[in-house]
Structure 1
Amino acid sequence: MVSSPDNCFHCGIAVSDDADYPVTVNGATQLTCCPGCQAVVNSIQSAGLAAFYRQREQPAGSPVSSREQSDAFHAWDHAPVQRPFVHDLGEGRREVHLLLEGIVCGACAWLNEENLARQPGVTEAQVNYATHRARVVWDPEVLSLGQLLEAVARVGYQAHPYDPSREEVLLETQRRQQLRRLGVSGVLMAQVMMLALALYAGDWWGIDPALRGLLRWCSLLLCLPVVVFGGRPFFAGAFQALRHRRVGMDVPITLGIGLAFGASTLATWEGRGAVYFDSVAMFIFLLLAVRFMEFSARRRSSLAAEPMVRAVPAMCLRYPQGDTDATPETVAVAELGAGDRCLVRPGEVIPADGEIREGRSSVDESLITGESRPLPRVEGDSVMAGSINADSPVVIHVSAAGPDTVLAHLWRMVERARADKPAVARLADRVAAGFLFALLLLAGVVAIYWWRNSPEDWLPITVSLLVVTCPCALSLAIPAALAAATGNLARSGLVVTRGHVLETLAKVTDVVLDKTGTLTFGRPRLVGTRALTPQRSREDCLRVAAGLAQSSEHPMARALREALRETRGESAPPPATGVISTPGGGLEGSVGDNDWVLGSPQFVAERTGIHEPQEAVVGSTDSGSRVLLADNVAVRAVFLLHDELRPGAADMTAFLRRSGKRVHLWSGDGEAPVRQAAAAVGIQQAHWDMGPDDKLQRVRSLQNQGAVVAMVGDGINDAPVLSASAVSIAMSSGAQLARANADVIVLGNGPKGIVQLFRLARRTRRTMVQNLSWALGYNLLAVPAAAAGLLMPWMAALGMALSSAVVVADALRLGRYGSGG
C-alpha cells in the first residue's frame, strides 16, 4: 500500500506544512510526519527490511500520544540500530555524535550543551555551533540513547544520531528555506523602500495626507509578510531562549523588530507619528543575508570531512559462513563483523579493515594516508576500509568493521576536535553572553532617558540601539574562523583531533622533530648484513631477526621482514615466543631454542652486558642506522638500514627558523646518522641515542624554562613525549592511525603539511584577533552613537549587517589560505 503524497509514509496521518522529515525508500523520497516516524523508517531500512513497505496492507499506527512518541525515541535503544554510530569507549562509557536541529545562535548551542551535561549518566557533552553537532559520552546503564534524544526534545530542539546523508538533506532543506525567506524578504523590502522614498520626499516637499496614509498602509501590508515569514526564525529563537530563562541573540533582535513594527502599525492606524517599515524590512533582510553567509561557511566546514564518512560503501559481497568456495551474497556493510570474509572486485571500495587471504592487487589508500600512488598488497597484508582495490579481485578477512575501523577512528577524532572549544572561544562566549544582558539594560536606560527628555525620539533611538549592537559579529568571530581553518586543514590531509591546536600552535617557541618517519620517510630498507661469528650465517641471522620483528610495527622491524621476503622468498619468518618490545630500544624473545635481543647497541649492551664489537662499526656508512642481533654469548650480526630524507624537510626547518622557532632533532638512532640528517636539513641542536624517557625529560626541561613545545613524531613510539607536549603532531599512516596519540595527524603531505599547519595556525590566530577587535571596536563606537541619537534605524541595520559580513568574509578567507601552494 502506498501512502498519499500529503500523508506520512509510515503512519498515514496528514503531514503538516511545516513538517520536514524526508526519508528515502527504494530510491524515492517520501515524507513523514515527525522524527519518530522518520527514525522508525530509517531503522527498518538499516535492518534490511524495506520490503515491509511494499507488502503492508495499511500504514503503521500513528505516534500521536506521548507514550508512543516516547516509544519512537526508544527505538534507538536497540543494539543493531545503534551499531553504525555508537562507539564503545570501554569502562561502561559510550560515545555518540548527534545532529541538532533548531540551533540559530551561540545561546542555542550553550543551552543544548548545558542540558545534555546535566542529564544523569552523561560525563562529557560538547555542542559545536559551527556544525550544529553534539558529541556526548554517557553511561548506558544510567541513561539510554532514547532518553538522551528525548531530553533534547524537551527543550525544544531535535537530535538525531549523526548520519551524513541525513545531514546533507537537512543542510539542503535549510538552504532552500533560507533562500526562500531571503528572496521573499528582499523583493518586499525593495517595494517598501520605494514607498519610503516617496514618504521621505513628501516630508521634505509636502504630500497630500490621504496619499501619505495610502502609502503607509501599503508599506504595512508589504512589510507584514517580511516580519511574519522572514522574521519567523528570530521570533522562534527568542521564544525558546526566554522559555528557558536565557537571553539569546534573537531576544534583542525580536525586541527591536517588535517595537519598530508595532509603533509603526499604531502610527499608521492613528494617522500620526513616524513609521519605520523600511528599517524593519531592511533589518530582517540584512539579518537573513548575514545568517545565510554564516550558514554557507558552516556547510562548507561540515562537508570538508565528508569524504571520510562516505568512503565506505553501503553494500558488499560476503561469503556465507566464510566459505570462499560458495557464491558470495550481497549484504549491507553494517552487517559485517570481525571474522567475516568478503570479496572485493577491481574498482570497488574495501568495506572493512582486514587482511588479504586470497589474491594480490594494488590498493589506493589516498583518502586515509594521503599516499597518492596505489600500493601493492599481497596475501597477509593489511588493508583498510575506504581504500580502493585497483587491479585484481581479493578476498578480505575482516578484522574490524563499522565504528571500529581506522576510518571511523579518524572521523571521530575530527568530530572531537570540532566539539572542543579553545580558551579564546570560551572567552568570546562569556563576553557575548554578558554583552546581551548589558545591552538590554542599556536599552532600557536609554529608552527612559529619551522618553523623559524627547518623547518623539525615544522609539527610533531605542530601536537603533537594539539593532546596531546586535552581537552577531562577536558570536561569529571565533567559530567562523575555526570552522574555515579546520576545513582547510582537512582538505589538505591534516587531521586536527583537539580544539586547542590552532590557538596553541601560534604560541609555540620550540619544535622538536623525531628523525625516523618525520625527517625521513619512515620506510627504511636493509642495505647490508654482516655476520660477526662463524656459528651463524647472514641468512640465519636475518631469519631470526625477522622472527623477532613479526609482532612489531616499528619501521625497522618491517624492513627486516621485507628483506627476508625479498632475499629468500619467504613470506613467514620463523615463530618467536615471549617477545617483549621496549619503545626506543628494541626487541627480546625466543626463536628456536635460543633467547635473542635485537635493537640498538645501547639496548643490546643493557640487556646482555655485551658491547658492540669494533668489527660491527668498521665498514658501516655514516648514513645508516645499525641494529644488532645478540644472544647470551655474543653479538651475532649487525644490520645496516638506510632511510631517505623526505623532500621538503630542509625547507620545513628553514621556515620554522624564520618563524622564530627553535628547532631540535631528537632520535634514538646513533650519532652518525643523526648528525648527517641534522646537517642535511640545517638543524643545530641534535641529540642521539635517546629513549622515550630521555625525550620526556628534555621536554619537561624546556617547559620549565618557559618554552611552549610542539613535538613531531610517529604517533606511537613517542606516545609519552607527545602527551607531554603542548601540541603533538604525528606523521602516521596505515594501521598506525588507529593508535596515533597526537593532536594533529599528517596524512601524506609530509614536511609541506607541517609548514601549512604552522602558517594556517598563525593566520587563524591573527584572524580571530582581528575579528574580535573589529566586533568589540565596532560596538564600542556604535553604542554611544546610537544612544546619542546619531543613527537612524536603517543606518543601524546597515551597520549591524556590515559588521557581521566583515567577520564572516574574513573568516572564509582561511578556507582558501595556502590552497595555491
Structure 2
Amino acid sequence: MNKLDQSSCFHCHEPIAPDLELTTTINKLAQPMCCLGCQAVSQAIVDADLVSYYQFRTEPGQKGSSLIPEQLQQYSAYDLVEVQQDFVYNQGDTKTISLTIDGISCAACAWLIEHKINSLKGIESIMVNSTTQRALISWYEADISLSEILNQINKVGYQAAPYQVDEQEKIAKANSRKFLLRLGLAGFATMQVMMFALALYSEYFTDLEQEYRDYFRWVSMIFAAPVVFYSAQPFYFSAIRSLLSGRLNMDFSVSLAIVGAYIASMIATINGNGEVYFESVSMFTFFLLLGRYFEQAAKRQASISSSNLHKRIPITANKIVSKSGLDEQPQTQQIAAKQLKINDVIWVKPGEMIAADGMIINGDSCINESMLTGEHLPVDKGIDQPVYAGTVNISQPIEIKITAVGQDQLVAEIIRLQEIASNTKPKVSLLAERAASYFSSFIIAIATLTYLVWYFLSPEDAFWVTLSVLVATCPCALALATPTAITCATDIFTKMGLITRQAGVFEKLPLINHVVFDKTGTLTYGNQQIEQVSLYDTLSQLDACRLAASLEQSSHHPIAKAFVHFECQRNVSEISHHVGQGISGVYRTQLIKLGSKQFVTEVSIANHGTNIDDIAISEIELKNGFSAEVEQQTKQRIYLSIDNKLQAQFTLTDSLREDSAETIKQLHANNISTSIASGDNSGHVDFIGSTLSVGTVKSGLTPQQKLAYIQQLQTTQHVAMFGDGINDAPVLAGANLSVAMGSGTALAQNSADLILLGDNLLRFNQAIKIAKKTQRIINQNLAWALGYNVLIIPLAVTGHVLPYIAAIGMSLSSLIVVSNSLRLSRIKI
C-alpha cells in the first residue's frame, strides 16, 4: 500500500487529526479521510460509480452530509418517503413514477433509455415518449431505488427528474430560450458568412486577388465556428449517445456532415487551396435548428393536455377545524392542498374547485365533472356520493371527507393512463423505428459509396454531394410519423372522457365490425331501484331488503346499488359470488341465496311443489303511487331464499341510457353489427333488444357462455365487448377490444382496454372515427416519409441537391409529418 499523506483529507482537504486512521479506497488506492462523514460520503461516491468526480473536480468537497456531489445528493433525496409522496404512485409491491427527461431528441433516444433501464434488476416496465420527453417507469422497491434509476439514466447521458408541472414549465422555458439562442446565433452567422461567400463566388465573374480570397475564407471560418461548436451541439450529443449504445441514430449523419464539412473547409483555408463550405455548414445548421424548433413547439402543443389536468387541481383548500351545528357554516383554515390527509374534512363553496378526492358528508350540490368526462352538464351529488379533485362545485356549499390524496387521486390515475396510451407503440410504429435505425446505417454506406464514385468522376464535387446525401436523407420524418399522431389522438380521447388502459387501442378500433353489449350498466344506466317486493313467506319486507343488502354489501355488480340505502344490520358470513347467477351466504347457520330464478329456485320450487308464478303473493309497493301490474317483459326480477325456501321477489327498474338508441343506430349505419349478451334471463333483455333494434339478443348466459359466443363471432369478425369491467373480466379479456362504462372509484380496478367516463355511449362511435382518422394520418405520414427518402436519395446521389437545399428539404419533411399529425387536435368533440 502506498504511504498515505496524513496532512490533509483527500475529500475535503482539511487537516487530519493526529492518530486518526480513516481511509476510503478510491481507484485502488487507500485515501485518507478526516472524519466519519467524509469517509461515508466518499464511499457513497465510490459505490455509485461516480469516482470521476474526484478526477474532474475543481474545488475540494465539503465536510459532513454536504460532501456528496450536488447531483448525487439530489438523487438520494428522491428515496425519502416524504419526498416521493407527491409524485410516486404505490401499487402493491411496485412503484410508478412519471419522469421528465432532458435531452431526448428522437425515437432512438427513447429506445436507448428503455433498453438501458429495462436491463436493470427490479424494473417492471418503462415506456419513453419522445414526443412529450417523458418516461413512465414501474419498479420493485425491494430490488432497486429511485435514486439508482435516476443515476442510470444520467449515465446514459440524459438528465431525469420527477415530472412536476411547474418545474417542467420552467425547464421548458429555459430550454426554449437556450434553443432560440442557438438558432439566433446560427441565423446571424449564416447571414455574415453568406456575404463573404457571395464575394468568393464573384471570382467566377471577376478576378479576385489571392489575399482577399484568403481573407474572406478566414473570416468565414471564424463566423462559422460558433455555429459548429455551439449551435450544433444538440446534434453532437445525440449522436455520441447513440454511438455509446452501439447504434446509429438520425443525428449521426447530420453531425458527420457538419463536422466533416467544417474540418475540410478549415484545412482548405489553412492550406490556401481547395473548396470551402462554411456557408453550407452555417446554412443547413440554421435550417435544421429551425425545423427542430418548430417540431418541438408542435410536440409541446400535442402533449399539453396532461399539464392542463394537473393545473385544474387547486393549490389551497379550506380545512374544517370546528363546527357548531349541521346547518351552520363551519370554521375553516386555509391550507395547501398537498397538506391534506385522508379523513380530513374540507368546506367547498359554490364556484370553487374541489382540492382532493372525497365523499360528501354534508350537503348536496351540482358538480361540473367536464374535466373528467368531457360532459359539461353538471351532475347532482348528495351525501355518501364521491367527488373528485379538480371538479367544480356549482350550486350549494358541501362538506367533503378526503378519501384519496396525491398519486392515489383519480386525476393522477387518468394522467398515468394517458401517458401509457401516449407511450404505447403500435406495431407500425415499432416497424418504423426499426427501419429508421437500419436506415441510418444504410445512409452512411450510401454516402461512403457516393463519395468514392464522385471522387473518381469529379473530385471537386465529391465532398458537397456527399454532404447533401448525409443531410437530405436523415430519417427524422420516419421516426416522427407515429408518436406525434398517437399523442394527439390520446389528448382528444382524454378530453372526451375516454381512457385507454391497454396497448393497441388505436389499432383495434378501426377493425371493429361487431359490438356485443352487456345489458345492465351499459345500454341501461345501471342505477337499479326496487320498484316492488313480493313476499312468499313470513319474512317482512324490511327484513328481506336488509338481508339482501347484507349479501350485496361486498358486490360491485350494478344490482347491488338497489340495496345500498338499507342498513346492513345482518351479520352474514361466508359470502360467495356465483358469477352470472347470484350471491350466497350464511346467516345464523341458515343458507341465504339472492339471484336469478334458476340459481335461487332449484330447491325452493321443489319445496313448494309449484311454480313461483302460481304462488299467492303479498305485494308491497315501495314506490308511492305504484298501482299498475308489472309487465314481465319490461322488468328484471331477482329472488331471495333462506335454507332453500323462497322468501321474496324483488322487481327492479333500470332506465335506458338516453343515447343508447342513437348509438346502436350509428353503429348499424357504419356497418357494425350489434348483440346483447346478458346474464339476466328475464323478458327484460328481449324488451331492451327490440326497443333498440339490436341485431341479436342472448339472455341468461353464464360468463363461460358469453365467452363462447364471443369466440364464435371472432371466427369471422372483430368483436368489441361492452361490460362493467370488473364482473365480466374473463369475457372482456376474450374480446378483440374490451370497453367499460367506468366510474371513478373503479377506474384503477378496471381491466378493460377502453373506459368511458360519464354516461355518453356515443363517445364510442366518435372513438372509432378518431381512431380511423389517426390510422389514416399515420399511414399518410409513413407514405410521405418513405416517399420523400425514395425521391431524395437518387437526386442527392446524382448531385442535383445542394447541401443547404438538402437541409431545407429534411426540415420541411419533418414539419409536414408533425403538422399533419396536429390536424387531429383540430377535431371538434
Secondary structure at the aligned position of 2:572 is classed as strand
Structure with max Cα Rg: 2
1:687 pairs with one of 698, 720, 736: 698
**Cα distance, 1:693–1:65 mapped onto 2, change above 3 Å:** same
Aligned to 2:24: none
Distance, in Å, in 2 between the alignment partners of 1:574 and 1:342 is 30
| Structure 1: distance between partners of 2:553 and 2:246 | 62
- Helix, strand or coil at the partner of 2:403: strand
Alignment partner of 1:557 is 2:560: yes
How far apart, CA to CA, are the structure 2 residues paired with 1:339 and 1:768? 47
C-alpha distance 123-573 of structure 1, shift in aligned 2 (>3 A): closer
In structure 2, runs of 5+ residues without a counterpart are 1-40, 42-61, 620-628
Deviation at 1:370, TM superposition (A): 4.1
- In 2, are the aligned partners of 1:319 and 1:328 still within 8 Å (CA)? yes
CA separation of 1:630 and 1:145: change in aligned 2, threshold 3 A = same
Tell me the residue number matched to 2:658. Answer: 646
1:492 aligned residue: 496
- Aligned match of 1:129: 130
C-alpha distance in 2, partners of 1:284/1:805?
Answer: 16
1:771, CA displacement in angstroms? 1.5
Residues 373 and 498, structure 2, Cα contact 8 Å, conserved in 1? no
Shift of 1:271: 4.9
Partner residue of 1:720 out of 727, 730, 736: 730
Tell me by how many angstroms 1:466 deviates.
0.3
Q: For residue 555 of structure 1, what is the amino acid of its counterpart?
A: P
Structure 1 residues 492 and 280, CA gap change in structure 2 (3 angstroms): farther
Q: Does 1:409 align with 2:413?
A: yes
Q: Please name the residue that 1:729 is paired with.
A: 739
Counterpart in the other structure of 2:3: none
Partner SS, residue 761 of structure 2: helix
* Deviation digits for residues 84-103 of structure 1 (CA, Å, limit 9, x no counterpart): 2222222x322222111111
One-letter identity of the residue aligned with 2:601: A
The answer to whether the aligner puts 1:769 opposite 2:779 as a matched pair is: yes
Contact 1:587 1:598 in 2 (8 A): yes
Secondary structure of 1:135's aligned partner: strand
Shift of 1:231: 1.3
Does structure 2 retain, via aligned residues, the 8 Å contact 1:514–1:666? yes
Aligned Cα root-mean-square deviation (Å):
3.4
Q: Find the aligned partners of 1:744 and 1:367 in 2 and give their Cα distance.
A: 18
Asked if 1:613 corresponds to 2:619, the answer is no
Match of 2:81 among 79, 82, 92: 79
Q: What is aligned with 1:814?
A: 824
Quick one: which amino acid aligns to residue 628 of structure 1?
Y
Query: What residue is the counterpart of 1:114 in the other structure?
Result: 115
* Counterpart amino acid of residue 753 in structure 1: R
* d(CA) in 2 for partners of 1:300, 1:602: 56
- Alignment-mate amino acid for residue 648 of structure 2: R
Match of 2:45 in 1: none
The residue type equivalent to 2:477 in the other structure is: A
Using the TM superposition, give the Cα deviation of residue 269 of structure 1 relative to its aligned residue in structure 2, in angstroms. Answer: 4.6
1:529: how far off? Answer: 0.9
Structure 1 residues 504 and 624: CA distance shift in structure 2, 3 A: same
Write the distance in 1 (CA, Å) between the matches of 2:405 and 2:778: 40
Q: Aligned in 2, Cα 1:502/1:319: closer, same or farther, shift over 3 Å?
A: same
1:697 and 2:708 are equivalent in the alignment: yes
For residues 18-54 of structure 1, what are the alpha-carbon distances to aligned partners after superposition, in whole Å with 9 as ceiling and x for unaligned? Answer: xxxxxxxxxxxxxxxxxx9xxxxxxxxxxxxxxxxxx
Q: What secondary structure, in the 3-state scheme, does the structure 2 residue paired with 1:739 have?
A: coil
Aligned: 1:741 with 2:751 = yes
Whether the 8 Å contact between 1:513 and 1:664 is mirrored in structure 2 is yes
User: Which residue in the other structure is 1:751 paired with?
Assistant: 761
Find out whether 1:625 has 2:636 as its counterpart.
yes
Q: What's the CA shift string for 1:737-790, capped at 9, x where partnerless?
A: 232221222122622211121111111122222212221222122222222223
Aligned position for 2:469: 465
* TM-score (norm. length: structure 2): 0.82
Instruction: Give the deviation of 1:473 after TM superposition.
Output: 0.8
Shift of 1:287: 1.6
Match of residue 689 from structure 2:
678
Per the TM alignment, residue 208 of structure 1 is displaced from its structure 2 partner at its CA by 6.5
What SS does structure 1 have at the residue aligned with 2:789? helix
Shift of 1:525: 4.2
Deviation at 1:257, TM superposition (A): 1.2
After TM superposition, the structure 1 = structure 2 runs for residues 255-654 of structure 1, keeping only pairs within 5 Å, are 255-318=256-319, 328-526=332-530, 528-533=531-536, 535=538, 541-542=544-545, 544-561=547-564, 572=567, 574-575=569-570, 577-578=572-573, 579-589=575-585, 596-606=592-602, 608=604, 612-613=612-613, 619-620=630-631, 622-631=633-642, 632-647=644-659, 649-654=660-665
CA gap 1:286/1:560 in 2 versus in 1, 3 angstroms? same
Contact 2:548 2:563 in 1 (8 A): yes
Deviation (angstroms), 1:292 = 2.1
**In 2 relative to 1, CA 370–771 (structure 1 residues): closer, same or farther, beyond 3 Å?**
closer
Q: Aligned equivalents of 2:257 and 2:324: distance in 1?
A: 71
Q: Deviation per CA, 1:176-212: give whole Å up to 9, x if none.
A: 3333333443454355456555655653577666665
SS of the residue aligned with 1:380?
A: coil
Q: How far apart, in 1, do the equivalents of 2:204 and 2:453 lie?
A: 27
- Worse overlay, 255-264 or 176-185: 176-185
After superposition, where does 1:230-269 map in structure 2 within 5 Å?
Answer: 230-269=231-270
Task: Report if the CA contact (8 A) 1:538-1:637 is conserved.
Answer: no
679, 683, 700: which is aligned to 1:668?
679
Cα contact 2:680–2:700 (8 A) shared by 1: yes
Q: 8 Å contact 2:99–2:163 — kept in the other structure?
A: yes
Q: C-alpha separation between the residues in 2 aligned to 1:136 and 1:609?
A: 57
- Other structure's SS at 2:459 match: coil
String of CA shifts for 1:594-634, please: whole Å, max 9, x gaps. Answer: 75433333333358557642579974153332333444322
Q: Whole-Å Cα distance in 2 between the matches of residues 321 and 404 of structure 1?
A: 27
Q: Does 1:800 align with 2:810?
A: yes
Tell me if the contact between 1:259 and 1:459 (Cα under 8 Å) persists in the aligned partners. Answer: no
Q: How many residues align?
A: 750
CA shift digits 1:382-403 (9 cap, x unpaired): 3333333334444433333222
Instruction: Return closer, same or farther for 1:299/1:673 CA change in 2, 3 Å cut-off.
Output: same
Q: Normalised by the size of structure 1, how large is the TM-score?
A: 0.83
